[in-house]
Amino acid sequence: MIAAVIVPAFLSMAYLVTRLPYPLRQPMFVKFGIGIGILGVAFKLGILNYVIVGILGKSTDLTGRADFWPIILKNFYSSGYSLLGGGFGARIADNMSEWSVDNGYVDKFLEFGYAFSPLIFGAFIAILWGAIRLVIANPAGQANTNIFPFAIWSVTLVLNISESNFMTKCLSTVLTSIIVGMVVQQTRLLSSQARKSTVEYRRVD
């Protein structure tokens, strides 16, 4: 249900940005980011409890999962794996608690530890930044293609707060691969078009 709501929201947001003049696109993204941050703070402070519980019928502790994460992390810190992690795909979370982690960020931290998890999370941020740049630099006629990476990757980042499907055998990993390929391909295409426009401008000048 959450995915069904936020996918159209992120797609609409990205498409709206592409319809704006170039100078207004980055400021609009900043405003959207601030708005999402405010929603996060409101959720943390319990301001949205009525909407989440009364209207959506969801629990504010993510069905109790949020209460398990500090316990799992505490066990991880004292396990001897905290520096290098338990290893990719090692299912170390099963040894840390009888409960399922159900959080992609915690799961990757358990697998890669303090030493390597920053590289993983840095890659996630790089993908998001590349997708944002596509939306900001989007030329006319390519909006439907260039908003896809940002919308789908943003949804993936949000859903992994209550699920764990980063780098696993599921549709999320397939979509991530497609997103990365699209970001690289479209970024090169936009760079090539920009260089071509510069050369043509110089010739005319």
| pLDDT value of position 53 | 56
Domain boundaries defined on the chain: 2-204
Cα dihedral sign, 45-47-53-58: negative
Whether this prediction's pTM lies above 0.85 is answered by: no
CB 146 within 8 A of CB 25: no
And the tokens for 103? 């959080």
Report helix angle 2-18 to 22-45, nearest 10. Answer: 150
| pLDDT value of position 51 | 61
And the tokens for 64? 């109790």
pLDDT tens readout for residues 66-80: 788 888 999 999 988
What is the rounded radius of gyration, in angstroms, for the C-alpha atoms of the chain?
A: 20
Q: Can you spell out the DSSP letters for 6-45?
A: HHHHHHHHHHHHHTS-HHHHHHHHHHHHHHHHHHHHHHHH
Please give the chain's pLDDT, 205 residues, in tens: 666 778 888 889 889 998 899 899 999 989 988 988 888 888 777 776 666 555 555 555 555 677 888 889 999 999 889 999 999 988 888 888 888 888 999 999 999 999 999 999 999 999 999 999 989 988 767 888 889 999 999 999 988 988 888 988 888 899 999 999 999 988 888 777 767 666 554 554 5
pLDDT tens readout for residues 175-189: 999 999 999 988 888
Cα dihedral sign, 81-85-89-94: positive
| CA–CA distance, 149 with 11 (Å, rounded to integer) | 10
Residue 140 gets the label, from left (phi > 0), alpha (psi -120 to 50) or beta, of beta
| pLDDT value of position 50 | 63
